[in-house]
């Protein structure tokens, strides 16, 4: 998703410069030469900056893989949480450069890094951290003296119509989302960070995801539709300030951060695959091959919700996914979707819509990730509407859910979430 915000040439330039940075300062100039533009950029050499105003991995053009992990805090000691966040910051900065999480010892002592990324390159790795409600209060207890600092926007998500949330895929005190152009690089990052937290955090759930699309074009999800077309443009700071970056007076430590909703949405692909294309397009409100709104030619043609056919029927159906989720239907609300597909093999499943098959089916779907300045005006009202009326619900079931406050980016010398812990 989100490729449309970064036109192909810009992405290419960015990747070129990043690749140059990976090779050393001298290569940056070389990366900008005309000859270089003709060369395909090796996605394994891309380096995304870790430090900055915002955390990486939020408006970063999507890499091809993700590993999303949610951890629970098991310590009662505030100092241990701070210590771990400091350690994580250093390790995340190193790994984002393509390095091991910690320097490898010269002797044969137990290495502080599994080493499975040695020689691979940074692969565009980004590591995004978030704080769940449990950091602020846990079973009524204020473990770290942070209860009063919980932002109002970090809501406990309500139960939505049709939710079938599995406790083992829901919630969590800390989010670590690694994204990279390589599955091993993404998993490696989370694995090293989780290891550093033994005794302080415990893994609650994790989900690997992937995304494929021709370079510079909107990728398709497993339903075969282009996904990410009508995202707010990350190239427009005014839109990002309005819809993505937090800026509420009750939690100034979150300014420049964002609130992230993660939903594991299972799709009954077996059922979907038997539907005619025309029906699939009615469900989505867009044409499958071009990605254009129904009745339009091109993917980025404007969605005209008032368009009617010669009999006066709405061209974009009443209960189609895009009509119900569009900002015009939701008081102008927009969210930045940055989802990945997932595919976890098969298991026994009972479909919740006709034909109500009971059989072994793919456990596959969408690991939906949406960033917003406030879920109370973003994900919650949009999903309330979708959960009730979306035609797509015949094929989808939300089985996992979590919400996190992702603090702003880190300055060198500081650590992730430092503002929260300041007196």
Q: How far apart are CA 27 and CA 31, in angstroms?
A: 6
Q: Write out the two tokens for 1.
A: 């998703």
Could you tell me if 132 and 171 are in contact, meaning their C-beta atoms sit under 8 angstroms apart?
yes
Alpha-carbon gap, residue 360 to 348, rounded angstroms: 4
Q: How far is the CB of 215 from ligand HEM (least distance, A)?
A: 18
Contact at 8 Å (CB) between 273 and 222? no
Smallest gap from residue 93 Cβ to ligand HEM (A): 32
Which residue, 128 or 230, is less far from ligand HEM as judged by CB? 230
337 is in an annotated binding site: yes
- Per the listing, tokens 């009443």 go with 318
Provide, rounded to whole angstroms, the least separation between the CB of residue 265 and ligand HEM: 4
Tell me whether residue 327 or residue 343 sits nearer to ligand HEM (CB atom). Answer: 327
Closer CB to ligand HEM, residue 62 or residue 96? 62
Backbone angles phi, psi at 354, to 5 degrees: -50, 140
Kindly tell me which of 91 and 335 has the beta carbon lying closer to ligand HEM.
Answer: 335
Nearest of 15, 109, 108, 121 to residue 60 by alpha carbon: 15
Residues 379, 154: contact at Cβ < 8 Å?
no
Min dist CB 260 to ligand HEM, Å, is: 13
Q: How far is the CB of 379 from ligand HEM (least distance, A)?
A: 5
CB 165 within 8 A of CB 397: no
Q: Max Cα separation, the chain?
A: 79
Helix (H, G, I), strand (E, B) or coil at 69: strand
| 321 assigned to a ligand binding site | yes
Residue pair 97/122 in contact (Cβ under 8 Å)? The answer is yes
Q: How many CB atoms lie within 10 A of CB 259?
A: 27
| Chain positions contacting ligand HEM, by CB under 6 A | 221, 223, 225-230, 263, 265, 267, 284, 286, 303, 321-322, 325-327, 335, 337, 365-366, 368, 379, 382-383, 386, 396
Q: Evaluate whether 325 touches 228 at the Cβ level (below 8 Å).
A: no
> Minimum distance between the CB of residue 127 and ligand HEM, rounded to whole angstroms?
24
How far is Cα 347 from Cα 359, in angstroms, rounded to an integer?
Answer: 8
CB 203, min distance to ligand HEM, A? 25
Query: Which CB atom, from 230 or from 377, has the smaller least distance to ligand HEM?
Result: 230
Query: Which of 54, 323 has the CB closer to ligand HEM?
Result: 323
Whether 133 and 154 have beta carbons less than 8 Å apart is answered as yes
Nearer to ligand HEM, 22 or 399 (CB): 399
In angstroms, the first-to-last Cα distance of the chain is 39
Residue 266 labelled as part of a binding site: no
Binding site: what residues are annotated? 286, 321, 337
Binding site for heme b: what residues are annotated? 321, 337
Binding site for protoporphyrin IX: what residues are annotated? 286
């Amino acid at each position: 998703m989100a490729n449309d915000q970064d036109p192909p040439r810009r992405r290419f330039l960015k990747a070129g410069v990043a690749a140059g940075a990976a090779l050393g300062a001298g290569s940056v100039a070389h990366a900008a030469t005309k000859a270089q533009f003709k060369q395909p950029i090796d996605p394994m050499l891309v380096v995304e900056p870790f430090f900055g105003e915002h955390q990486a991995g939020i408006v970063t053009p999507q890499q091809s893989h993700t590993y999303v992990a949610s951890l629970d805090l098991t310590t009662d000691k505030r100092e241990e949480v701070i210590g771990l966040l400091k350690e994580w910051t250093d390790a995340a900065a190193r790994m984002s450069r393509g390095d091991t999480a910690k320097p490898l010892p010269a002797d044969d002592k137990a290495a502080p890094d599994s080493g499975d990324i040695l020689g691979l390159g940074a692969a565009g790795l980004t590591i995004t951290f978030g704080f769940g409600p449990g950091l602020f209060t846990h079973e009524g207890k204020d473990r770290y003296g942070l209860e009063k600092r919980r932002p109002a926007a970090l809501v406990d998500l309500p139960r939505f119509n049709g939710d079938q949330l599995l406790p083992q895929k829901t919630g969590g005190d800390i989010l670590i989302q690694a994204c990279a152009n390589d599955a091993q690089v993404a998993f490696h990052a989370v694995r090293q960070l989780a290891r550093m937290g033994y005794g302080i955090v415990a893994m609650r759930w994790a989900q690997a995801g992937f995304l494929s699309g021709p370079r510079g074009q909107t990728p398709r999800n497993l339903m075969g539709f282009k996904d990410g077309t009508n995202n707010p443009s990350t190239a427009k700071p005014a839109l990002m300030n309005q819809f993505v970056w937090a800026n509420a007076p009750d939690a100034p430590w979150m300014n420049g951060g964002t609130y992230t909703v993660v939903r594991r949405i299972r799709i009954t692909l077996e059922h979907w695959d038997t539907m005619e294309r025309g029906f699939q397009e009615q469900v989505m409100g867009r044409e499958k091959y071009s990605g254009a709104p129904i009745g339009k030619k091109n993917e980025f043609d404007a969605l005209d919700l008032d368009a009617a056919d010669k009999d006066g029927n709405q061209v974009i159906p009443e209960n189609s996914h895009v009509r119900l989720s569009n900002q015009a239907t939701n008081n102008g609300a927009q969210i930045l979707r940055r989802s990945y597909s997932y595919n976890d093999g098969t298991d026994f499943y009972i479909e919740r819509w006709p034909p109500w098959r009971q059989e072994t089916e793919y456990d596959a779907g969408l690991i939906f990730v949406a960033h917003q300045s406030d879920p109370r005006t973003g994900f919650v009202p949009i999903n309330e509407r979708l959960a009730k009326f979306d035609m797509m619900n015949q094929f989808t079931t939300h089985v996992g859910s979590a919400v996190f406050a992702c603090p702003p980016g880190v300055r060198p010398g500081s650590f992730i979430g430092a503002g929260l812990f300041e007196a």
